[in-house]
Amino acid sequence: MMKLMKWLFVNRSIRTKIVWSSVLTSLVPMLVLSFLFYESSTKSLERTMYRSTNQNAQYVAGYLNQYFRDLSSSALQVYGFSRVMNLMEHGRNVNDEDFFAVGESLKNYYTLVSNKNKDTVIKIMIFGKDNKLKDFWSRAASYDSIPFNESIPHYEDMLDLPFQQSLSFSYKDAAFNQDFFVFAITIYDPFYHSKIGTLVFYIQMKELTKIIEANNQPPNVIVVRNSRGETFYHTSDEYDGVVSSVAAPDVQLKKKPKEIRFEQRQDLLVGTSYLDNGNLSLTIVYPNEELARHRNNTLLIAIGALVFAMLCISLLSLLAQQFLTRPIKRLGQAMKKVRNGNFHVTLSQPYRYRDDISELTRSFNFMTEKIRELIEQRYQMQLRNKEAQLLALQMQINPHFLYNTLQTIGGKAVLIGDYDIPEMCRSLGDLFRYSFYEGNTESTIRQELVHVGNYLYIQQFRFEESLRTEFDVPESLMEAPTIRFVMQPIIENAVVHALGGPDDGQLLIRVRAETDGETIVLSVIDNGPGIVPAKLAELKSNLETKSMEVFSGVSIGLKNVHERIRLAYGASYGLQIDSKPGEGTIIRIHIPFRKRGESHV
């Protein structure tokens, strides 16, 4: 489908695309309407045929089921003849005092079977428990010689059938040159299910054919299969391929005694019924000739209508595209000029036109005007960036002079025996050196803690006993990488807001580090006065509001730290602030846990 669409539209002129689009979009609803008309007509005929077929299948299946019920029940009436049962199980003894009584019982049983099946049974064979022939009866002497040997299908299988199972099949006897229908059933003890013997009935196939065809109407085809899935009767072999692949009825059809389905593009309606009394399946094939003719006529009408519609739509599309392609070509030529770098192209378009092409032309003019404005804004932005870079270069000159001055002050203090001043100068110098370091912006937690230690060392001289710090950072996290200046601004913020006020007390600042999955959580905890809820809510809101200023001085407060972490690692990292008035403040820094040198994805 995609290849066809590409062939129709890719590398085609706008004129060709309009024609193809009109044809395809018009054909879709017409195809849908034709399909609905076709489906409604055929479905109506299918439902009518289905109802009549269902009734006919029920009638034929019921009649045949009754026939095999009579045959099966007449065979099972042997349970009422105890002497015949004893003959099957133990055989006959000529010295037995019941010898003549057994003969009389056999005669009565044969008469019962013959009468119950309307004289269609021509031979009955009684086999004993040992599969040996115990007695037989024939309607005529000529049938006495019907062989029972390897020439008969299922010769050995039908003497040992499972409990409550029968076997039916047909074959052509070479000696008699006749088709015989054979019905075999093994008799079991009803309580212990032990085998007693087997009964085999012979019926001329023409008698069974009369019964079946008396209930069939051509061109319907009837197919009868036995418990082995073998077709032993059919009125025609024309549709053998439709039913030959169906499994044996006792495997598939017992759970669904009746099934009606369409085959071969709905041209055939196939009804299959399970005949429980004969362990057989009956399949009736109904050729749907009327539906096939109706389908062909509908298809020809639909094809003719589609061809006529395609011709009309194609001609109308060729006429209509003249009014569409001309302004589009003008627009395409203007876009080529813009692609070549000419952004001063403007297309004239009367404002009284309000169609889509006119709106597209006005949008093109608006786009070129905005592009010119953006180019000017970007040029001005580049100038401001250059000014900021020059300012940063100027600021880098002062730290070198400051380092040398601090070293001179420290040296003078050592000469007069004051060793606190050199330590303060060293700490302050390290602070400036870390702050103005020009190399990689990536640092480690260990280096950040050293920087924090230098800052706290200087503050200790100012606040003395009022400031106390604790560090709880595992050695395994010391070399974890992080961006620079993520902890010192937060600790400085705690010192500024918690000390120096009227209600000074001892400030305890604890720095703790732990892992949470693939995240390192650095916590800065103080026991200061805390933050009131309104101020805390405002502070959290400011953290989530992205700053739009490109260069905002040298401030590196909480918002700056939060935005730098998110720029470096993503929106799932940053600062989290919790505080309660009178209980202190906890600021958690979330950064990814990775080895140094790895890039964060």
Point out the least confidently predicted range of 43-52, 284-293, 399-408: 399-408
pLDDT of 128 higher than 70: yes
- pLDDT per position as a tens digit, 500-535: 555 557 889 999 999 998 999 999 999 888 889 999
| pTM confidence score | 0.44
* Model pLDDT, residue 143: 87
Which residues partner with 282 through β-bridges?
224, 273
Query: What is the SS3 assignment for 516?
Result: strand
Point out the least confidently predicted range of 48-57, 108-117, 136-145, 529-538: 48-57
Closest by CA position to 489, among listed 396, 583, 562, 408:
562
As a whole number, mean pLDDT of residues 389-416 equals 58
- pLDDT per position as a tens digit, 169-214: 888 888 888 889 898 999 998 888 888 999 999 998 888 788 777 7
Query: What is the SS3 assignment for 474?
Result: coil
* Model pLDDT, residue 394: 47
Sign of CA dihedral 180, 216, 239, 68: negative
The DSSP 8-state label assigned to residue 95 in this structure reads T
Q: How far apart are CA 344 and CA 232, in angstroms?
A: 91
Of residues 423 and 322, the one with the higher pLDDT is 423
Q: Which range among 38-42, 99-103, 189-193, 472-476 has the greatest average pLDDT?
A: 472-476
As a whole number, mean pLDDT of residues 340-344 equals 76
- pLDDT per position as a tens digit, 445-495: 998 898 888 888 878 877 778 888 899 999 999 999 998 888 888 988 888
Closest by CA position to 274, among listed 258, 261, 290:
258
pLDDT of 254 higher than 60: no
- H/E stretch holding 329: helix 322-339
As a whole number, mean pLDDT of residues 333-340 equals 79
As a whole number, mean pLDDT of residues 143-153 equals 86
Sign of CA dihedral 139, 144, 146, 147: positive
Closest by CA position to 234, among listed 172, 170, 173:
170
* Percent of the chain residues topping a pLDDT of 90: 10
Of residues 430 and 439, the one with the higher pLDDT is 430
* Model pLDDT, residue 142: 86
As a whole number, mean pLDDT of residues 98-104 equals 79
pLDDT of 104 higher than 90: no
- 8 A C-beta contact, residue 513 and residue 567: no
pLDDT of 389 higher than 60: no
pLDDT of 101 higher than 70: yes
Question: In the chain, what's the furthest Cα-to-Cα distance?
Answer: 151
- pLDDT per position as a tens digit, 355-377: 666 777 778 788 888 887 777 76
pLDDT of 284 higher than 60: yes
* Model pLDDT, residue 558: 85
* Percent of the chain residues topping a pLDDT of 70: 69
* Pairing of the two strands 584-592 and 519-526: antiparallel
Average pLDDT over the chain reads: 76
* Model pLDDT, residue 396: 47
pLDDT of 553 higher than 50: no
* Model pLDDT, residue 401: 53
> In angstroms, what CA-CA distances link 232 with 40, 199, 242, 382, 425?
39, 20, 16, 95, 113
Q: How far apart are CA 306 and CA 34, in angstroms?
A: 9
Of residues 286 and 13, the one with the higher pLDDT is 286
- H/E stretch holding 443: strand 442-444
pLDDT of 216 higher than 80: no
As a whole number, mean pLDDT of residues 16-32 equals 69
Name the band, by pLDDT with cuts 50, 70 and 90, for residue 381: low
Of residues 8 and 287, the one with the higher pLDDT is 287
* Model pLDDT, residue 49: 67
